Structure formats: C-alpha cells, structure tokens
Homo-oligomer: A and B are copies of this chain.
C-alpha cells in the first residue's frame, strides 16, 4: 500500500459516545450540494447524457418562453468542439426575454422558477433544469455560463452577464454584468456555456432529441449546428400556435388532509363558503353549501380556524358531492392530425405501410392534476421487423429518450395483448415484436416524473389505465388495417387464379375444338361477385394525385355512394368539380355517387390534393353506402360516427335479402356454366 489511509475514528464499544458523536456529525445539507452529489437524479450522469440534458433543458425553456409570449418559436442550437470531451453549447430563442434583475436567479439558483405552483401544462416546472445545467457545466470546466437577453420594446437594451451557481449556498455568482446592443434581435434569450461532454449520434442523441421535438412541436422552427459544422433545419410544419394552456385552480377531489389544512390556513377568503367557492375549480355557491352541510362545517367560519378536524370534515363533505372533472383547457394536446403529420414528416424515409389513426383520450385527473393521453402507431414498410417495436415517448411535448424501462408508458404497452392486434408477443406480455413504432404522449398540468431529470413518467394506476385504453383503441385501427390487407391479398390471389386459369382453359379447349374463344367476363364476374375499389396515389413535390378505380365484377349493375374524409384545408376544384362528385361538408367529409355501374365495367374518381395537410389523407380509408358491404372489396361500410347518413340500401339500387339474391345469382351462374360447356362440346 502506498500510504496508510487513516480511518475516521470509530467509537466501538462505547455507544453512548456514538449517539453523541452522531449528533455532532449531523448537519443541514444544501439542496445544491445534494444535487451535486446526486447528479444522476437530474440526468447529468454520463458525459454523453450531460451534453444532451443541457440542450434539452435549454430548448424546453425556450419553447415554454416562446409559447408564453405567443411567438412562433425560432430556436438555434449550436455545439462546437473545443477539446477532447469539451464543448461549447449555445441555445438562442426568440422568446419574450428575461428582465435584467431576474436573470441571475433564473440561471444561477436551483428550485427557483415561475411555473412551480401554476396548474397549467408546461415543459419546465421545477426551476431546476437550466440552473443545474449551468452548475454542472461550471463544475466540469470551472467556467461560468454566459447569458444574453433582450426584452421587447424600442427603448430596451440587451443585457449580458456571466453566471455560476454557488453550490454551498444555492445563490447565483454574477460577473461581467453589462448592457450591450444586440443588432437584429428584437427579443429573446441566448445561453452559452462550456462543458465536458461526449457528442453521440443515434437513438439517444441531441439530433434525435431535436427531431422528435420537431414531431410534437410542428409550430417550431429548430436550427441545429452540429460539432462538424453541419447545419440541419427542422422547418415549421404549421404556422398555427397550439392553443394556449390556461391556468386553473386546484380541483378538490382526491385532496389529502394535509393539503386541505395548508390551503385553508393560507386562504385570504373570509368564510369557508367563499374559500371553497373561490379557491378551487369546478365549484359553485350551491356546491359549497352542500359540502359544508355534508361535513357539518359552519360555512360562515373563517377557513383559518378549520384545523385538522374541520379540514377532515370538509374532505368528507367533498367526497359526498358530485364534481365535474377538471377543465381540459389547461392542457394542450398535440391532436391526432398533427401527430400523424409529425410522424409522416419524420418517418418518410422508412416508407411505412400504414399510419393508424392516432387516438386522443378525453382528460382525466390524477391527484387533482388533469392529464390526457395520445397514441399513434406506424406499421410496416422499412421499419425493422425482426426486433422489438420502437417506442417514442413524450411528456408535455418533450421527447423522453432515456429510462424507457422505468416509464409507465413501457409498462402500459407491455400490458396490452398485442397478439390480438397482429403483433408478435411472448405470452401476451411485454414489449411486442414487429415492424411498428408506437408513439405515446402524456399532456398534464403536472407530469409525475420518476426523477428531477424528467426522463420517465412514474407509475400511477390511473395513468396506466388511460394509456392502455388509448393503445387498444389505436391498435384496433392497426388490426383492422391488417385484416383489410389480408382480405385484399386473398381476393387478389383468387382474382389471379380465376383470371389466369379460366381464360387459359378456354383458350386451350377452343383451340383443340377449332372454335372461337368465348367471352368469359360474365363468368369471371359471377365467380368473383365483388365490386372492387382500388386506390392509387401519385406523389410529387407539390401535390398528391389520388385515383380510385371502381370495377363491377358482378353480373348486375349497381348504384352506391363512396365517402372519403378529405382534410378540410385541402378541398379544391379538382374534387368538387370532378365527375360523380355529390357533396362535402365543412369538415371535408365528401361523397361521390356511382350511378348504375354496369356489370363487368369500371369507372374512375380522380382528384389532386395540395398543401400541408395533403400528407394526412389516407387513401385506404374508403367508405361506402347504398350497397351490401359484403360484396365490396377495398372499402368499409360508412360508420355511424361520421354523423352523416349515407345512401339507403333498397331493393331498387342494390340490396335485397340474401337468400333470394343468392338463388338468383346461383341460377344465373349455372346457366352460364351450362352455356360454356355446350359451346365447348360442339
């Protein structure tokens, strides 16, 4: 041994002194020291992850700030390599800026922020992330962060300063504080810091984080300069800001006695009735009276006199009334259209076969915090089929790249029996296998993360339940697509056989007999007995040309209606002016009337879609009415939830009871066969 390491004096055998010794050792731990020693709970464990975490915290803050200021986010991320494992990172936004006096605390003090007590969906909440970034960068290189910010207004100057965190006291250390002119910058903030780090590519990289951020924030433009100097731009996919999430008051349901005691003791209201009515959401004077009556509490007493017994009585009273669920406008979900669009935008290279219609669930609440779950599934194409499905996790529009195993999302996916929805899964449990990507987004006023690093959503039964419900709904879409495809493939096979073998047979026999080849189209129609609707899509840079060919492979003429959901933004003359077009409503639900389509003939519907939303049109989603859906290939019966009545099925235009129809058809078929045999015999 190179040296003798003197162990700290122990007090073996003298326990009274140990109790004293212990007491002397006990002291307060500053929250900064605590996080410094436990950097992994903040996500700053490995060099690679630290580099990502810093970018993530800064970009999350920038997006929040832009949305609060109602500016379409314009974010520039730059990473420069300075030395081995040492980088300079800068993130600039066009948010409302930060006033001069607030800058030190925002960046130089942990547990300091504006959103902690707000019940409203936002990315940052704890007032930890960005100051932790500043702290760990400083610990790793000894250098402070450099912050610049300008708030809007002609007379405002920009301010810049160097900020570090004093880990002993959790207070900002500011140097070089000065005003400066920032040419061309009307408002916004830039943070620049030097940190030890490792720059990675791949699934858990800064590039992937920014890409996934773009998927769920289609209103943001993100520019990224990587350490090689390559510039990537994720362009805005929409100019519309997401609806602003409103701040709400706490919802009284599921409140703990301790919370009630705190709220009541701090209330500024004069009476318990006013306290209930004004300090909570979903409350009325009538409900407040009822709660007081149920709990046996005097509604005119001061809320500050409630104490433990009174608070308990109020909680009992609340449990006996029926309250509305918390309002949904404190949330800002992505929405099914934008999820699909975001996925298509990003996954184009994999040419997936199918995008299941994303599912957005109505809000529920956990611990008084409203939340909503959104799910999307992408299937097939070049998505690798030999491994587990890819899971894309999001919380309040922030991609979660680490700690997949700890996330309730992973658990919920594992609880669904995916074998029922067409994916492979051992024992009906765990992450399924197959060529699919599953996206899950949780939006909430308070996402319960497993740690301050906000890498995974903690397990709550209420959340898991909602996720499972959303996953199953979305999986049902996938399953119906897979069924459709299987059916289509089988009918295709049948077609190939009938259209291949029958004419061959006829040719051969006719040749041997020296007779002319008979026309088989009626025969083939009789055997097939379907109306076939086949879509084709021609993509170009500006537009998509959609064509449906409708074949009548039956022995009778048919009339029916074809229904398509055109994105409302894409309605145009090529649709409304086209042949057979019937009508469309303002949501883009459109219909075409196919009138008297003769046996063994075909007809075409064709139009062009342009613009942002053209992508989201799914050519395979075809609905029909006015015809027995059993005899149609490539379309489903018009569903009730379209809120539109399709054509009625009547004897005149198509549908007659099965038995008579069958008999008729069979007779006709027999006739025809007899005719064919007779011809062949001669």
Known: A138-B258, A140-B256. A282 touches B16 (CB 8 A): no
**Interface presence of A360 (CB below 8 A):** no
A62 within 8 A of B: no
Within 8 A of B (CB), among A73-112: 96-99, 101-102, 105-106, 109, 111-112
Tell me whether A70 and B13 are in contact (CB under 8 A). Answer: yes
Chain A residues with CB under 8 Å of chain B are: 1-3, 5, 7-8, 10, 12-13, 15-16, 18-20, 22-23, 25-31, 33-34, 37-38, 40-41, 45-46, 65, 68-71, 96-99, 101-102, 105-106, 109, 111-116, 118, 120, 126-127, 138-143, 151-153, 156, 167, 187, 196, 244, 246-249, 256-259, 261-262, 281-284, 287, 308, 311-312, 323-324, 327, 329, 387, 403-407, 410-411, 426-427, 433, 446, 448-452, 456, 458-461
Q: Is the CB of B151 within 8 A of A247?
A: no
Given A26-B112, A126-B38, A257-B139: A248 touches B449 (CB 8 Å cut-off): no
Name A16's contact: one of B1, B31, B153 (CB within 8 Å): B153
Q: Would you list 14 pairs from A and B whose C-beta atoms are within 8 A, ordered by A residue?
A: A2-B323, A2-B324, A5-B281, A19-B69, A22-B99, A25-B118, A26-B106, A33-B116, A40-B449, A41-B451, A138-B258, A142-B261, A196-B256, A405-B410
Known contacts A1-B324, A10-B244, A40-B450; is A112 also within 8 Å of B18 by CB?
Answer: no
Closest CB in chain B relative to A226 CB, distance in Å:
23
| A127 cross-chain contacts in B, Cβ below 8 A | 26, 29
- Identify which of B15, B312, B448 contacts A142 (C-beta below 8 A): B312
Knowing A5-B248, A26-B114 are in contact, say whether A461-B16 is a contact too (CB < 8 A).
Answer: no
What is the oligomeric copy number?
Answer: 2
Q: Tell me, rounded to whole Å, the shortest Cβ–Cβ distance linking A114 to chain B.
A: 4
Q: Are A141 and B257 in contact (CB under 8 A)?
A: yes
Q: How would you classify the secondary structure of chain A's contact residues: helix, strand, loop or mixed?
A: loop
Once A126-B29, A458-B45 are accepted as A-B contacts, the answer to whether A151 and B405 lie under 8 Å apart by CB is no
CB within 8 Å for A167 and B262 given contacts A22-B98, A114-B22: yes
Q: How far is the CA of A101 from the CA of B23 in the complex (A)?
A: 8
In the complex formed, the residue of B with least CB distance to A456 is: B406
Q: Residue A405 contacts which of B23, B246, B405 (CB distance < 8 angstroms)?
A: B405
Q: Is the CB–CB distance between B25 and A114 below 8 Å? A: yes
Q: Which of A7, A111, A120, A127 gathers the greatest number of chain B CB atoms within 10 Å?
A: A7
